[in-house]
Chains A and B, each alone.
Chain A
Amino acid sequence: MKSLLHHHRLKLTALFLAANLGLLLHLAAGSLKAVADWVWLDIVGEGGSTVLALVWLGLILKSRPAGRVTNLLAIGLSCVFFSWWIDLLDEFIRLPDSITWDHWLESAPMPVGLLFLTYGMYHWHHEQLAISQQMEKRERLFREHRLFDKLTPLGGADYLRKQLELSLQQSAREQQPLSLVVVDINGFDRINQRFGHDEGDRVLQAMTQLLLLNLRQQDLLCRLAGDRFVVLLPNTGETLAAQLAGELREAVGHLAHKSRQHGERVQLSATVASVMALQENPENLLQRLNLALAKAKRPLALSA
């Protein structure tokens, strides 16, 4: 709340002053209505709209970084709020018939505000396209922020399951192969022990960036659990999946991650495995992928 007031002090002050000025003008020119003359339905309807406009403004200012699109939306919503506010004042204050400026005050800001809003939304759309491009390889087909893991941030296991369900249907429909690759960091527990769990979290974040860089545009990276990542590869057969898995393993081995505290290199390596989807459900496929990983890990456990 504090940062909101801080960033948008000017806008909010201006709106506050304008609303007060409107109120003072009305009080100066008109007289208060008796309570008996109040029309409750209008008061609730117009008052509710006014409050809602203010809530929208607050949400927009709070949820968006400051900038051009935010300003356009804020101006638009401020005008809408002002227009409804003046409308609401009518319910309490009676102005003499000779006065006409109140109609202007009430009606003029509304179309202006709506134009600003429309223009702002149009640019918001373009901004969203630009942001979606950054989400490439992190989300496909649908968005659900509640299924995203807060640390990395990637889709979690539930997001992966939903995606798998859709992708399996799609691949069956289009007669295209679908493969999965799993990437598991070796000795992640040792990293946590040696460098602390905070550094372990940073390793996971670095791994996320690294893996994303090594994927194709249509691939999807999810964090299954802990230090285990899964890549969904649409239109990809067994051989290509195995090749991509090998590339990811090499990329992890070459990542020279530095610890925050002493800046020393954290040696990383990963075990990878891949499977191609047969006619099966997501749960079965994930199970098979997990067993393939366990098999790939076994010689490692014996040699350790």
Chain B
Amino acid sequence: MTVPCPWYECDSRFIAAHQQPATLIELCLSRGIDSHRLLRGTGLFVEDVPKADTLISPAQFLTLIENAERLLGADDSSFLFGQRLLPGHNGAASQALALANNLQQALELLGELRALLSPLLSPRLLLEDQHAYLYWLDSCGAGSQQRFLLEANMTAVVAMSRRLGGEHLPWQCHFRQAPPRYIEQYWVNLGEDLHFNRPYNLLRLPREYLTQPWPQTIQSTAQVACQQARQQLQQLGTQASLLDTLQRWLLRHVRQAPNLEHAAAAFAMSPATLKRKLHKHGTSYQEQHDQIRMLVALYLYQLKGYSNDEVAAHLRFSDATNLRRSFKRWTGLAPSALLALLRG
């Protein structure tokens, strides 16, 4: 049950400043923002940004995003940033994305290379009979920047699929938040099929669009780029954040209903240390566990058509009543009510 590979935390310096952070900085500078005010509190200096060896931590990147959002003071900041994110300018990883055979390969790469391409919000791809689902979970404790990150990352995927595939795809977007005041930005950047107040943040697409071949593929170059990106990831020595690793571990062991002690043992640290580390990322074991159990429950209800009793048994609840009570705590609604809402 142990977790083999090391992870990064919100204060690990591994994000190349000249890649995604530089994209955001350039965007701000092109809008006339003062560079000193932009970098205040980030521990980063303008002259260090273009250097290849300048690395910043997720926490520093989040501070940069917070500053950018405040100084730009516009509703479209996250979307403009998102449009520039993918395939982006992240060396081999971006090249591998740009040369992918089709959308499915690109999304799988995005997941595999997430430490390079999406270090703050980890994307997961779920393939079902009818649809593909791409959902995001917070991987570094984004706090109030979560909405900005989600808007940027969703816009990035939608824009990339349009750019590389050459057509608009019928993406359906689901958000946990209520409809924002600036809904027009969502229309322009994400399309019309928007659903708010949902229990998850995800994009949905009929599966046939995933395997449509993309025109600009060059097989051999793409393979080399993939290899290089994987090497880069190995040099980084980390593939995912602590929260991301925990979420995946919880997902694998959800049927055993593991507690904090089990998780700490799997991560080879004391429960107190794990607790402290989670607290540093603005979350708790309970919150992470609930989040995963809710997603699994919804998956079983919606895609597998399980009954309350079956879901309760799967998640090791003593009975359906207990599950219903917990479910209401996670989502605010009983399973039947929420499923009716999602269907309607």
Contacts and interface: CB of A to CB of B under 8 A. Distances in A.
State yes or no: do A and B come from one complex. Answer: yes
Interface of A: 149-150, 156-158, 184, 189-190, 192-193, 197-198, 201, 224-228, 286, 290-291, 294, 297, 301, 304
Q: Which 10 A-B pairs have the closest CB atoms?
A: A226-B188, A225-B184, A225-B188, A301-B168, A225-B185, A157-B184, A224-B184, A294-B192, A228-B188, A304-B167
Interface in B184-241: 184-185, 187-189, 191-192
Contact of B79 (A149, A150, A193, A226): A226
Contacts of B163: 189-190, 193
B187 to A, nearest CB: 5
A158 B75 CA distance: 10
B74 A286 contact: no
B50 to A, nearest CB: 18
Interface string B68-108: 00000011100110011000000000000000000000000
Interface centre among B159, B166, B184 (most CB of A within 10 A): B184
A192 B84 CA distance: 10
B83 A224 contact: no
Contacts of A184: 188
B31 A150 contact: yes
Contact of B74 (A150, A201, A304): A150
A189 B159 contact: yes
A304 B30 CA distance: 32
Contact of B30 (A149, A198, A224): A198
B85 to A, nearest CB: 13
B61 to A, nearest CB: 21
A158 B166 CA distance: 32
Given A149-B74, A157-B182, 19 more contacts: A150-B31, A156-B75, A189-B162, A190-B163, A192-B83, A193-B163, A201-B30, A225-B79, A225-B182, A225-B184, A225-B187, A225-B188, A225-B189, A226-B188, A226-B189, A228-B184, A294-B192, A301-B167, A304-B168
Contacts of A198: 30
A106 B5 CA distance: 83
Interface of B: 27, 30-31, 74-76, 79-80, 83-84, 159, 162-163, 166-168, 181-182, 184-185, 187-189, 191-192
Contacts of B30: 197-198, 201
A304 B165 CA distance: 10
A197 B84 CA distance: 9
Contacts of A192: 83
Nearest to B170: A301
A189 B85 CA distance: 13
Contacts of B159: 189
B148 to A, nearest CB: 16
A157 B180 CA distance: 13
A158 B184 CA distance: 10
Contact of B188 (A150, A201, A227, A301): A227
B192 A226 contact: no
Nearest to B159: A189
Contacts of B79: 225-226
A149 B166 CA distance: 30
B31 A286 contact: no
A189 B159 CA distance: 8
Contacts of A201: 30
A227 B184 CA distance: 11
B299 to A, nearest CB: 30
B160 to A, nearest CB: 10
A159 B121 CA distance: 33
Contact of B75 (A157, A286, A297, A304): A157
A271 B334 CA distance: 44
Contacts of B27: 197
A156 to B, nearest CB: 8
Contacts of B181: 158
Contacts of A226: 76, 79, 185, 188-189
B190 to A, nearest CB: 11
A286 B191 CA distance: 14
A184 B75 CA distance: 18
15 contacts: A149-B74, A158-B181, A189-B83, A193-B163, A224-B184, A224-B188, A225-B76, A225-B185, A226-B79, A226-B189, A290-B192, A294-B191, A297-B168, A304-B166, A304-B167
Interface centre among A184, A193, A226, A297 (most CB of B within 10 A): A226
A304 B187 CA distance: 20
A228 B159 CA distance: 16
A296 B285 CA distance: 49
Contacts of B84: 197
Nearest to A302: B167
A127 to B, nearest CB: 27
A184 B189 CA distance: 12
A194 B76 CA distance: 21
B254 to A, nearest CB: 39
A171 B275 CA distance: 61
